Amino acid sequence: MSLVGAGSIIEWRDDQDKVVQGYLVYPDSHVGRIMTGIIIVPDCAGFSTPYVRVFADKLSEQGYKVIVPELPTTTATSDEWSHTGMFRKWKDAAKAQEAQTIARVDRCLELLKTAYEIQRVGVLGLGYGTEIALRVAASFDAVALLSPTLLSMDVPLTTPTLVVTGDRNEYINSSQIKSFTEWIQPDIPTRVRVIAGQRHGFAWSRIADEDAATLAIATILDWFVVHLHRFRPALCTSDGDPWWPQGKNGPFFNVGLSRWQAQRLEWTTSVLPRPPKRPPVPSESIFEGLSSMKRTFELPQPMNLGDIVELYVDIWDINQ
């Protein structure tokens, strides 16, 4: 099967000895050793849509190894963002196979940590995938939910969680979001980003709005930088690197770079006053020591490098 995207298809066998596929993409070799990964739990179309694969490719460009497992059951993409009979029928079928989907996500987590030596892993849920992401959140280091179809409060949440949704999402409303945030313990980092004028699937489907999708993805990337990376600042980047590729309104600012620049200023701040500069050693004592035909002689005090250079310049002038 040929798919658009920078990654490749991987296969493994589940507990029932069935072949399961997934989409794997990771950064170029020049990025160095990758210690962080992300598992994307897709919506009804799985990883077969170019929107989800491009989503994964963009995450890998930021330094993550990304796996998108295939869902046990999928359906067409044209119906994925509204309350239609086709989508509801698929969602009921997917709900019945929720345990199998969770097993696939757990298998991807195991693959990242064993086969690919990933130390910290985040999970990103898209649409219905957010319900699975909440179920498995305890096994991950960071969670991001994009266009959730349900904010479940059945399982205690102990992982930093980000919710990004449109204000026209057909599945959740502001009161449900408020109840969800109040249910989470105050000491658990939580953030909600509501994007105006957007519906379910606005960032990975045919209704994608470029500016809104760019804003949503940049918010997710910032969340993973803060709560997933071992080294939160972007230490290996240039001042000209954009935070996200060009959109209609230009690139996003590199948040990690700005934090590193602020910390760099603190590193160079003088904590202790410099000791006073010693007076230079008199040239007469140096010439006297050099003319005494001794192989070594002791100076009355340490010398600055500039004074030594100046002394040798004087000796050179005398010899000339």
Q: What's the predicted TM-score (pTM) here?
A: 0.69
Q: How confident is the model at residue 299, as a pLDDT?
A: 66
Say if residues 74 and 45 touch (Cβ distance below 8 Å). yes
Q: E strands of 70-197, at which residues?
A: 120-126, 142-146, 161-166, 190-195
| Confidence band of 287 (pLDDT split at 50, 70, 90) | low
Q: Is 86 exposed, middle or buried (0-12, 13-18, 19+ CB in 10 A)?
A: middle
Which residue intervals of 159-304 are DSSP H helices?
174-183, 210-227, 255-267, 283-291
The pLDDT tens digits of the residues spanning 236-247 come to: 444 444 444 444
State in words which class domain 8-259 has: alpha beta
The pLDDT tens digits of the residues spanning 121-176 come to: 999 998 889 999 999 999 999 999 998 988 888 878 889 999 999 888 888 888 88
- Within the chain, all domains assigned CATH 3.40.50.1820 are found at 8-259
Please tell me the distance from the alpha carbon of residue 136 to that of residue 159, in angstroms, as a whole number: 10
The pLDDT tens digits of the residues spanning 163-221 come to: 999 888 888 888 888 899 888 888 889 999 998 888 887 877 666 677 888 888 889 98
